Chains A and B, each alone.
Chain A
Amino acid sequence: AQKVTQAQTEISVVEKEDVTLDCVYETRDTTYYLFWYKQPPSGELVFLIRRNSFDEQNEISGRYSWNFQKSTSSFNFTITASQVVDSAVYFCALSEAPMNRDDKIIFGKGTRLHILP
């Protein structure tokens, strides 16, 4: 069965510090997708990234970067030079099937990130 573990329940850092959110996943499939979402206090999910299991290249988007390592089944997310607006709950998620009509996205428990001014 698939499983996503986010061991960090809550993290607080001072603004401008870098912070890494950990994500470890379990799956029996060789083909799968990994995701990160941001959920601000409003509740709406904000999609950040999708990575398929065959693409281990790290990705950078502005202050955000992601490190995917199949050897350790990890898909960690780093925010560089954090800002107060980054305060939110961040979810790592997994989908075992290729993106089709029957795929399910399973979420980790989330990491609540507080950026202190």
Chain B
Amino acid sequence: GAVVSQHPSWVICKSGTSVKIECRSLDFQATTMFWYRQFPKQSLMLMATSNEGSKATYEQGVEKDKFLINHASLTLSTLTVTSAHPEDSSFYICRAGSDEQYFGPGTRLTVT
């Protein structure tokens, strides 16, 4: 069964609101989690690396104040899209731990 879950699987929100996406490792502990974004018909782009108990490391060009990442426990990392705009509409995928197989099922965000 799935070892990494994401919640919600899809969400629609209004422009200007904030949305929180959760990534959970179900039966293992993950000191590191990775967040990716995928625009329609495009590749997965790494946004940030989330480390438990410390600040996330953001990739160049990713606004850390807009995409807040919290990795408060060894099984949960959250990505909050603050003041969302239509251009933030995307598919967000997390990866937990060092195993290449442990990607979450993704969260589809639509900002209207």
Instruction: Give the size of the chain A interface in residues (CB under 8 angstroms).
Output: 23
Interface 0/1 of A15-47, CB less than 8 Å to B: 000000000000000000101000000111101
Interface 0/1 of B74-109, CB less than 8 Å to A: 000000000000000001010101111101011010
Interface 0/1 of A35-76, CB less than 8 Å to B: 100000011110100100000000000000000000000000
Q: Does A95 sit within 8 A of B, measured CB to CB?
A: yes
- Whether B98 pairs with A99 at a CB distance below 8 angstroms is yes
Q: Which chain B residue shows the least CB distance to A44?
A: B105
- Whether A43 pairs with B106 at a CB distance below 8 angstroms is yes
* Total cross-chain contacts (CB, 8 A): 51
**Closest-CB distance, A97 to chain B (whole angstroms):** 9
Bound form: Cα–Cα A95–B99 in Å: 11
Bound form: Cα–Cα A107–B47 in Å: 12
Bound form: Cα–Cα A107–B100 in Å: 12
- A residues less than 8 Å from B95 (CB atoms): 105
- Whether B99 pairs with A99 at a CB distance below 8 angstroms is yes
- Whether A100 pairs with B98 at a CB distance below 8 angstroms is yes
- Whether B49 pairs with A102 at a CB distance below 8 angstroms is yes
Selecting from B15-23, B38-46, B62-70, the interface stretch reads: B38-46
Bound form: Cα–Cα A45–B44 in Å: 10
Bound form: Cα–Cα A91–B97 in Å: 20
Bound form: Cα–Cα A116–B77 in Å: 40
CB within 8 A of A45: which of B41, B93, B108?
Answer: B93
CB within 8 A of B44: which of A42, A44, A99, A107?
Answer: A107
CB within 8 A of B43: which of A47, A91, A103?
Answer: A91
Q: Does B31 sit within 8 A of A, measured CB to CB?
A: yes
Bound form: Cα–Cα A35–B43 in Å: 14
- Whether A50 pairs with B34 at a CB distance below 8 angstroms is no
Q: Which chain A residue shows the least CB distance to B97?
A: A101
Interface 0/1 of A97-114, CB less than 8 Å to B: 001111111111110100
